[in-house]
């Protein structure tokens, strides 16, 4: 009777709580709290704990796309970074190497220096050529003219010097060689030579000269006799350089023939040449000092593409004084100059330049590799100290009908640079670079 009364009281209490269920007690060694604060019951008819859901696996991010060597080189920063401080520069001398007015192509125009070189045991003289059809020699310290050649029939576009010898090359390919005698008198050396235009260099022993035919072969002549010693098959390349017995040229080479259509069963496959034959531009390194070949040297193909999707046009490759190579790539935004063996990358903006991007810039290194001078028609000359990244720009010079700016480092004093057409087209300014300026 007592038990029934207790059960009846519980039913009535449940009704008063609005139907809130009653949580039964579980024999687990102690009573659990009841009501809203109680944990959720275990699954019916099971005492196995509910497993914890495992976390979702984290998806690995896709690896960055692999860059080709050209893409990596195109994206690399300048090295060393550009310095905020400018490269110190001081003007040492101004030298007049052409008359103020000159007759060229039947016209009387302003005299213009086209090319310059240092001459003498102390680099105390300058040799220059220009549109008055003569080679001139003048003292740097005083600016006094020491000698001028007879007229050579056409603009003197290139000069070169080695020891007591120097030479001038005309627009029409006439090549004349001169020597300073111990008395100081300048004499013309005999020997008939042909030539090209715009580039001229001596070998280190002063016994041979290198010059290209216009948009054609590169010739090496004996200085004494004028005889042709070697001929390299350059084709349309203009930016030659020579250092340490090495030069680089570019020429077109045929691509391998492609297989033609498959023949009928049982036949043979013929190689069908394309019409016209396909060619590609390739660069070659020529080592003049190597012996044993009919060309008085050895030729090595270079692994550089003329057109590079990432870097642009490979406009020039030159040997460096220490045995490396310097390359210049240009696109519509910049020219990138690369000294791969010294891990140097230098950029120059090309906006406002005149020459087509497929043509190389004027580009020279000092003999010790400390400085790089760069110029494009319509832009200022820029000089970079390759160790520090310091730079300087020279005042912009307008071009004339005859010439654009050229420059030459002093081979005996690498901190000296002679620049044509500064401050006037018929003059050359000699600058001193670096912290000693």
How far is the C-alpha of 419 from the C-alpha of 64, rounded, in Å? Answer: 47
Residue scoring higher pLDDT (286 or 61): 286
Are residues 418 and 143 in contact, defined by beta-carbon separation less than 8 angstroms?
no
The answer to the question of residue 319 being in a domain is yes
The answer to the question of residue 194 being in a domain is yes
What pLDDT is stored for residue 192 in this prediction?
Answer: 76
The answer to the question of residue 48 being in a domain is no
**If you count them, how many residues does the chain have?**
437
The answer to the question of residue 57 being in a domain is no
Total domain count, the chain: 1
Q: Which residue in this structure is represented by tokens 């935004």?
A: 333
* Phi, then psi, of 408 in degrees rounded to 5: -150, 135
pLDDT band for position 275 (50/70/90)? low
**pLDDT, average across residues 198-202:** 93
- The distance of Cα 372 from the centroid of its chain, to the nearest Å, equals 11
The answer to the question of residue 45 being in a domain is no
Residue 240, domain extent: 79-255+275-433
How far is the C-alpha of 381 from the C-alpha of 387, rounded, in Å? Answer: 19
Residue 154 gets which letter from DSSP?
A: S
Mean pLDDT is lowest, of 194-203, 288-297, 334-343, for 288-297
What pLDDT is stored for residue 270 in this prediction?
Answer: 56
What pLDDT is stored for residue 76 in this prediction?
Answer: 96
The answer to the question of residue 138 being in a domain is yes
Residue scoring higher pLDDT (434 or 293): 434
How far is the C-alpha of 218 from the C-alpha of 199, rounded, in Å? Answer: 10
Q: Is the pLDDT of residue 402 over 90?
A: no
The answer to the question of residue 304 being in a domain is yes
The answer to the question of residue 349 being in a domain is yes
| HSE-CB of 58 using CA atoms within 13 angstroms | 2
Q: Is the pLDDT of residue 406 over 50?
A: yes
Q: What is the mean pLDDT of the chain?
A: 84
What pLDDT is stored for residue 5 in this prediction?
Answer: 45
Residue 35 gets which letter from DSSP?
A: G
CATH number, domain with residue 138: 2.130.10.10
Q: Is the pLDDT of residue 33 over 60?
A: no
pLDDT digits (tens, 9 = 90+) for 383-394: 999 999 999 999
Burial 142-151 (b: 16+ CB within 10 A, else e): eeeebbbbee
Q: Is the pLDDT of residue 288 over 50?
A: yes
Are residues 128 and 159 in contact, defined by beta-carbon separation less than 8 angstroms?
yes
How far is the C-alpha of 160 from the C-alpha of 116, rounded, in Å? Answer: 8
Cα radius of gyration rounded to whole Å, the chain:
39
Q: Which range has the top average pLDDT, 60-74, 291-305, 358-372?
A: 358-372
Q: Is the pLDDT of residue 74 over 50?
A: yes
């Amino acid at each position: 009777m007592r038990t029934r009364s207790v059960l009846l009281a519980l039913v009535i209490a449940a009704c008063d709580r609005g139907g809130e269920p009653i949580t039964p007690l579980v024999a687990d060694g102690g009573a659990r709290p009841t009501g809203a604060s109680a944990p959720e019951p275990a699954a019916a008819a099971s005492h196995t704990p509910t497993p914890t859901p495992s976390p979702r696996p984290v998806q690995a991010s896709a690896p960055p796309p692999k860059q080709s060597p050209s893409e990596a080189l195109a994206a690399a920063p300048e090295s060393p970074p550009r310095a905020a401080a400018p490269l110190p520069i001081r003007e040492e001398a101004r030298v007049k190497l052409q008359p103020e007015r000159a007759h060229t192509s039947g016209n009387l125009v302003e005299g213009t220096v086209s090319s310059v070189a240092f001459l003498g045991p102390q680099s105390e003289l300058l040799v220059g050529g220009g549109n008055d059809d003569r080679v001139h020699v003048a003292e740097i310290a005083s600016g006094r003219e020491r000698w001028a050649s007879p007229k050579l029939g056409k603009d003197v576009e290139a000069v070169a010097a080695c020891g007591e010898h120097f030479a001038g090359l005309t627009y029409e390919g006439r090549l004349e060689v001169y020597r300073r005698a111990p008395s100081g008198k300048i004499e013309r050396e005999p020997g008939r030579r042909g030539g090209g235009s715009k580039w001229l260099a001596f070998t280190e022993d002063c016994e041979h000269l290198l010059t290209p035919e216009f948009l054609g072969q590169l010739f090496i002549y004996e200085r004494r006799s004028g005889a042709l010693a070697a001929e390299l098959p350059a084709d349309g390349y203009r930016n030659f350089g020579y250092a340490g017995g090495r030069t680089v040229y570019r020429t077109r080479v045929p691509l391998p023939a492609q297989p033609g259509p498959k023949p009928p069963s049982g036949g043979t496959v013929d190689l069908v040449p394309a019409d016209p034959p396909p060619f590609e531009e390739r660069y070659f390194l020529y080592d003049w000092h190597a012996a044993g070949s009919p060309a008085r040297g050895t030729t090595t193909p270079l692994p550089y593409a003329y057109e590079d999707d990432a870097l642009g046009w490979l406009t020039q490759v030159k040997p460096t004084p220490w045995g490396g190579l310097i390359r210049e790539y240009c696109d519509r935004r910049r020219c990138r100059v690369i000294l791969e063996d010294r891990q140097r990358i230098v950029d120059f903006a090309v906006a406002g330049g005149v020459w087509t991007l497929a043509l190389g810039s004027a580009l020279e290194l000092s003999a010790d590799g400390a400085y790089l001078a760069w110029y494009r028609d319509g832009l200022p000359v820029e000089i970079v100290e390759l160790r520090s990244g310091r730079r300087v720009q020279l005042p912009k010079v307008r071009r004339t009908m005859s010439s654009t700016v050229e420059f030459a480092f002093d081979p005996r004093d690498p901190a000296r640079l002679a620049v044509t057409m500064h401050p006037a087209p018929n003059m050359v300014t000699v600058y001193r670079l670096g912290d000693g300026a």
